[in-house]
Structure 1
Amino acid sequence: MNKYKVLIIDDEPWSRQVVRALGDWEGHGLTIVGEAEDGTEGLLRIEQWKPHVVVTDMRMPGKDGDALLREIGQRYPNVRIIVMSGYDDFTYMKQAVRSRAVDYLLKPLDPAEFNEALANCVRGLDRERAEAGEAWAPAFARQDVHREYTAYRDRTHAGLLELNRAAVSEAFGKLAAFLSASVAPGEEQACVAAVTRDYAALLQPFLAEYELGRAADGLRNGLGDGLRDGEGLSPDLESEVSRPAAARLDGALSQAVASIARVYEDAMERAAVIRRNRNRLDLEAVRAYVDKHFLDAISLETIAQCFYVSKEHLSRAFKAHTGETVTDYMVRKRMEKARELIVEQELSIKNAAHLTGYDDIAYFYRVFKKHFGCTPGNLRGEP
């Protein structure tokens, strides 16, 4: 009997057939449970069939691969993802990385590369299953106990995605009481290790979505190991999570749960600020800022920092508002200024390049020619 289930998502029937034909499903212990034609249907099928692996295209009508990856990362963080694309597009690759995709493969698929990606999925799932089995035994050996724990976990996750701090706090409180009543003496350490790993994995896609750093690393490595990278957490919380586990296990699992809850609380508080800033982002103010500073050493990243939003959100919102990316808008403004300096003010090409932020003259020539279809010298009638 095969161990893991696979869902294929692609709007082209022939492409789904190619995926079916290329995979050594039996050899990897995999079973294809179904197909979907776009991201919207894909999410429904994931909920229905609970696949362990999703093989998905990026360019699809409706909810495309970019939106699909974000939702899978948030709602189904343990699903392994293999991304396919007919376009060598860095934006798609970046989203695949953010969604922790196992691999990003270009069409037409190479059979060896595709099967290696499937093998990587299986190895990761096997490792996760082994770790879970070791961690949960004997803490949650009974299925009814594990089911109740899962219900609290799902309640916490739903509150997290809604930034409902009251609901998350209540869920953690009930979880602490449940664990204290359900875990036998001597099994606390195994239980804390399992809960820690589980809630760290649950939080990681949320942190990635709001670019809050890798706060869950400290949880994943165990409460005693401390945070490897505390970016995104307040100093007092870093100190709390990095305290030795034994100091919080002296007779009360609830203390360990409280430490995890504080990590969630801090992450949600920061995410709420980011969401408010995203919702009230004044794109005309962004345009005015670029108009004022385009000759300075600004970039998409520095502008995003100035307006307290992520680079990705600023880029998407600005393009939807103006029809241009922030970078293209800045380049256009700089090139128009360069043309004015060269033609109307008759500055030397070298000085015009420097004044518009280009120290590399050869690069300035390339950008200018790409933008206007001719070299700076051609504008002056030079050969």
Structure 2
Amino acid sequence: MKAIIVDDEKHVREAIKLLVPWDEFHIEEILEAQDGQEAIETILEERPQIIFTDMMMPLVGGMELLEWLQTNYPSGKTIVISGFDDFQLVRHTVQHGGVDYILKPIDAEQLHAAVTKAVDCWNREETERQGQTQRNIEMNQIRPVYWDKLLSNLINEPTGYEAAASALAKEFGIGPHIQECQLAIVNMHTLSGKLKEKFRTDQDLLFFSITNICNEFLREPRQGVAYRYWNSDNEIILLLFGPALPGYKLVASIQEGIEATLRSRMDIGISSILPFPAGLPEAYGQARTALRRRNLLTAGKEVHIYQEKPPANPLLLSFSDYAEPIRLAVRSGSPEQIHRSVLLWFEAVNKLESITQEQLELWWNEYRLQRSRWLLEWFGDQANELNAMTEPSSFMIPFEESGTLSIPLWQQQMDADLTGLSQLMLKHQHQDNNVIFEIAKYIQNHYHQDITLQEIANHFYLSREYISRKFKQEFKVNLSDYLSSIRAEKAKLLLLNPHLRIAQVAEMVGYDDEKYFSKVFKKIVGFSPNEYRKVNQP
């Protein structure tokens, strides 16, 4: 078995590696990643069975990673190890298949129990998967989905053709004599809204219907095959070969056939002629690019032929050029100001004669970058956490009934997101003015002094009982534990300096007694100061 530890703090990754008895669980390889994006890349390549992840990390955080795992890698068993005792984070973990949620500092017994649960769960499901896989193989031999999946896999692994060559030649005429091919993508997202609604409760029937229409044109004489592409939720592939090449006219006829049968046209992207089967990945990429470069403002659905050079756009727009007025409007807290600033951007967008999916993705990335910078400016250390909790996971193109880009709906979405961001900022400002948060800041700034509850009460002219009650309500931890945790975090940084004695570190974080400091530190961190220093030596 394999495991991966995902955390942006090296000492946490090292602590997990030390605390887990890997041999006991037959885990032979331990992988590491510093953030969710690196984790996704490693998981796709290495396929680890057990995943440990922090929640708050740069780029892609733990919440996004959990969502990705549930969709793209549900067999992996995830244990969340976080410093945030937050109900929303725990609920998010449970909703997206997490096995356990462990708080930092890590308790060795809790960690052992969580790994035991995760490994047992994976082994049980793996046994079920193996049995189901065998049953599926037997069933898929007599079902069309078997061929759909086999053909879909050829796009990612064209070398798999050799093993299936005889079966493909018998079923579809794709024998060794086929040396060249073209690939077209029928984009299901470009169907009319009425047709989507008609098949809303039975998407499989819609795919089946369109695939059958396509194959009616391709079957006699055999010049291609249409199949559902199982690596995407919205694409049907047309694999063209033999007398069909070049296949533009044939694909145009298929498009007309779909319209005649279903009363809806669809955008179709088609590649250039490439070698078969080695050129299948490139052909798929070309067909997708042709679709992504189509003009989303044009109502008429077309067959889009791949061109090596993208069409020139005479008026290029950068969202960054319009970002400053939007930033100021969000800071103002006024929905009217936000609407007016966003309107300036969309007035420029409305002047464009062409907008492609590529351009939309570029603007979306610019918007995300500006949004992240604003959060960093306004919220400081909390920016990554808030960005992970508030940023939309992806940009969904808003379409009109006709299948064109809906700029008004896009504007509404941006207005709503920025208004929510503004409200979050105002709430944060209100919290900064709240006396309990002032007390927390006071503790953060004076942790190295001999702070007592009575001293804080005298400083803020409040009763000790009021401070204790309100502090626990706001932070879900009592004041003394909050102070101890801050001192422990500061001590961890100081312990990385080998020239400082333990007694000096204790004094620098507010402890007169070295032994008492060591006792508190071990309780919070799980290691004594000396042990922690040894583990984290460079």
Structure with more contact order per residue of length (Cα contacts < 8 Å, sep ≥ 6) = 2
Compare CA radii of gyration and give the structure with the larger one: 2
Q: TM-score, normalised by structure 1?
A: 0.41
Q: TM-score, normalised by structure 2?
A: 0.31
